[in-house]
Structures are given as structure tokens and as C-alpha cells.
């Protein structure tokens, strides 16, 4: 039997979210959400989780390396690092530095996520992702993370699956804050995308060579039948979950879908143009779709000149299942 091997430089690893594995996170919006009656099936909470913060992380990372993995996507808990506005915890940063050093020792290339679902309580109480001020707060936090940890981090992710967060917590009521409002979901998505752009700019100020991107969930959506109504619904869902996000990264403006029979639709009034580096009079990026025999597979973004060119072909954008990492790469020749 022919042995299958990965190409040279291919990253094969797993992804963890801080709140799901660390334990003891009591200063974020999810810790409050877990205490709400009926919010969690069975009334369970994260509690001690997997005990990573108290020392079990090293054991699990060692097992991952022993199993043949060569990368790991680790997330930072914003509420640990900035428990109060503008106050950063040196001991928390030291613990993450320790974990990153251990990953390097084990041969696990680090990809670090700055936001993986949880918000500090003080951010949540100010409106969370429905407040434009959150974009500025996130950029400040991102810059501090880059300033302290950049020498240990080859790859950065600003936000994990913004469309999924906007859908589950703002359009629906599955995640905090559980607003159940399509309008607030659109606003939250716009704020997250502006936060991504602002964070990119601020991180580059202190870590010029940092490779920074975003993670997009790319589900495959197919119509149940070949009828026009079913195809239209599938197309609209695909646009809402992925297309609108990718388009905004290309143009700097979050807009509703623009079917040819409706003509050009203006951007929603509640969604202002991004003020970060994505905004331009002309699009500065082009979409690259990775196809594997079918449509709606993982999708990436080929970033424009201002973001240093094309993705690194030696590091495919797929550390997280069902996700496509969008990031800057090496400069075009």
C-alpha cells in the first residue's frame, strides 16, 4: 500500500479555545452565561475544564507532538490578560509565554488566536460586539499581545469565525449575549471586521514582520432539491455565512447580497465602512477559492499589496477543521 505523506512545510495540528481547556475563567461573558438557567443543556459549566492553566497543557501538547502533529492553534483569554480596561496582567502573559516556549521545544509551530468566542465582562457590559468602541479596545489588546509575545508567535489569528459568533450570539440565542436580532447580528459582524482591520494595523506597529490573519468558517451549503427556491435559499445562506465576510475583506464595506436582478444594493445604514487598512477606493485583495472537486470547499483570501502579497504556499491555511485561515504571506516577487 502506498504511504501518503504531507508536502514539505505542511502544518498538521489541532486547535483549542482558551475557555474550553484552561479552567478557572470567571471573568468573561461565557462564565456568566453558563450560570443562566436553561442557557446550557444540562446546566453544566466549564469549571476546571481540562486544567490547562494549572499545568495539564504541557501534558496534552506533548501527546499531540508524540502523535505526529507539528502545529497547534492556541487561543489567548482576553479577560485573563486584560481583566480591567487598560490593565494588563504580567503573570497571565508569563503563563502564555511558558506555553509557547514549550510548544517550540516540542516542535509545534504556534498559531495564536486573540479572540476565540469569549469577551471580558467589562467589554460585554459595554455592549460587546454591538459597540464600535469594542474595535478600539480589541486593537489595544492585540497590540499588547504582539508587543509581548511576537518573538514566540510565527502566525497570528485576530478573530475566530466572526460570522458564526454573530449568528449564534446576536441573530440567535445560543451564545451570549443571546439577543435574537438580525440587525444586531449584522452590526456585530461589522464591528468584528473593523476590529480585525484595526488590530492588524496596531500589531504591525510593534511587530512589523508578524503574519496576521482571520479564521473563517466555510460550511458546504447545498440545496435540498434542484428547484429555484431551494437554490436561492442555499445561495443566500452561503452569502450570509461566508460570502458577505469575504466580500467585506476585499472591499472594506459590509453589504447585503447583490443579486443581478436587484441591481446594486447600498450598504446597510448601520454598517459604516471599515476604518482600518482594508478600506480603499479600489479593492486591494482578490478571492482565492480552493476547490477539491466540489464547490463550497475551504476558501482563503489572497491579500493585496498592502498586506504583503500571496499566502505562503508552504503553510496551507487549514489548522482548524472546517475553517480557512486568512492571513498575510510573503511579498509578491
Give the mean pLDDT of 100-109: 98
Residue with cell 512545510: 9
Lowest model confidence (mean pLDDT) among 68-77, 96-105, 137-146, 219-228: 219-228
Question: pLDDT tier at 323 (50, 70, 90 boundaries)?
Answer: very low
Domains of the chain by range and CATH?
13-220+279-327 (3.20.20.80)
* The three grid cell numbers given for residue 156, joined into one nine-digit string: 497570528
Residues ≥6 apart with Cβ < 8 Å to 187: 129, 130, 170, 270, 271
* Residue 332, Cβ density class (10 Å: 0-12 exposed, 13-18 middle, ≥19 buried): exposed
Overall average pLDDT of the 133-161 stretch: 98
Could you tell me the three cell numbers for 145?
A: 499581545
Higher-scoring residue by pLDDT: 306, 254: 254
Helices (H), 174-307: 182-206, 228-238, 244-251
Q: Match 508578524 to its residue by C-alpha cell.
A: 210
What's the pLDDT at 257? 63
Residue 146 DSSP SS3: helix
Determine the average pLDDT of the residues in 3-13.
Answer: 91
Distance of CA 98 to the CA centre of its chain: 23
Q: What is the pLDDT of residue 258?
A: 57
Predicted pLDDT at 266: 37
Dihedral in degrees, nearest 10, Cα atoms 307, 308, 310, 316? -80
φ, ψ dihedrals at 4, nearest 5°: -90, 135
Confidence of residue 311 (pLDDT cuts 50, 70, 90): very low
Strand 323-327 and strand 285-289: the pairing is unpaired
- Which pLDDT value is given to residue 47? 92
Judged against a pLDDT cut of 60, whether residue 302 lies above it is answered with no
Listed in order, strand segments (DSSP E) in the chain are: 13-15, 71-75, 109-115, 155-160, 211-217, 285-289, 299-303, 323-327
CA separation for the pair 328, 142 (Å, rounded) = 16
Top-confidence residue, 218 or 18? 18
Contact indicator for 92, 138 with CB cutoff of 8 Å: no
DSSP states of 154-170? SEEEEEE-HHHHHIIII
Full-model pTM: 0.79
**Distance of alpha carbon 24 from alpha carbon 39, whole angstroms:** 19
Dump pLDDT digits (tens) for 140-149: 999 999 999 9
Q: Is the pLDDT of residue 268 over 50?
A: no
Percentage of the chain modeled with pLDDT above 90:
63
Rounded to whole angstroms, how far apart are CA atoms 86 and 88? Answer: 6
pLDDT for the residue 273 = 44
All cell numbers assigned to 235: 445561495
d(CA 314, CA 233): 37
Nearest to 77 by CA among 45, 38, 109, 29: 29
d(CA 48, CA 272): 41
Amino acid at each position: 500500500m502506498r504511504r501518503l505523506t504531507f508536502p514539505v512545510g505542511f502544518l498538521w495540528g489541532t486547535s483549542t479555545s482558551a475557555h474550553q481547556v484552561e479552567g478557572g475563567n470567571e471573568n468573561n461573558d461565557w462564565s456568566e452565561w453558563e450560570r443562566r438557567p436553561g442557557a446550557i443543556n444540562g446546566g453544566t459549566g466549564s469549571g476546571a475544564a481540562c486544567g490547562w492553566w494549572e499545568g495539564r497543557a504541557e501534558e496534552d501538547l506533548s501527546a499531540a507532538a508524540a502523535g505526529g502533529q507539528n502545529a497547534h492553534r492556541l487561543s489567548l483569554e482576553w479577560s485573563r490578560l486584560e481583566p480591567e480596561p487598560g490593565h494588563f496582567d504580567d503573570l497571565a502573559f508569563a503563563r502564555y509565554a511558558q506555553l509557547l516556549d514549550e510548544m517550540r521545544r516540542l516542535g509545534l509551530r504556534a498559531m495564536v488566536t486573540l479572540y476565540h468566542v469569549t469577551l471580558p465582562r467589562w467589554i460585554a457590559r459595554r455592549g460587546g460586539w454591538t459597540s464600535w468602541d469594542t474595535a478600539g479596545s480589541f486593537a489595544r489588546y492585540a497590540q499588547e499581545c504582539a508587543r509581548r509575545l511576537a518573538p514566540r508567535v510565527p502566525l497570528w489569528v485576530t478573530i475566530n469565525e466572526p460570522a458564526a459568533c454573530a449568528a449564534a450570539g446576536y441573530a440567535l440565542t445560543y451564545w451570549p449575549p443571546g439577543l435574537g436580532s438580525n440587525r444586531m447580528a449584522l452590526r456585530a459582524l461589522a464591528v468584528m471586521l473593523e476590529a480585525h482591520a484595526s488590530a492588524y494595523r496596531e500589531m504591525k506597529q510593534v511587530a512589523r514582520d508578524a503574519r496576521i490573519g482571520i479564521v473563517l468558517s466555510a460550511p458546504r451549503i447545498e440545496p435540498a432539491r434542484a428547484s429555484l427556491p431551494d437554490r436561492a435559499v442555499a445561495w443566500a445562506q452561503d452569502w450570509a455565512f461566508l460570502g458577505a465576510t469575504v466580500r467585506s475583506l476585499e472591499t472594506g464595506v459590509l453589504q447585503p447580497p447583490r443579486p443581478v436582478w436587484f441591481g446594486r444594493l447600498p450598504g446597510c445604514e448601520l454598517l459604516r465602512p471599515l476604518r482600518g487598512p482594508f478600506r480603499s477606493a479600489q479593492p486591494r485583495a482578490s478571492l482565492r477559492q480552493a476547490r477539491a472537486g466540489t464547490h463550497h470547499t475551504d476558501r482563503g483570501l489572497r491579500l493585496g499589496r498592502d498586506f504583503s502579497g500571496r499566502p505562503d504556499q508552504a503553510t496551507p491555511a487549514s489548522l482548524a477543521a472546517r475553517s480557512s485561515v486568512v492571513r498575510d504571506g510573503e511579498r509578491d516577487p
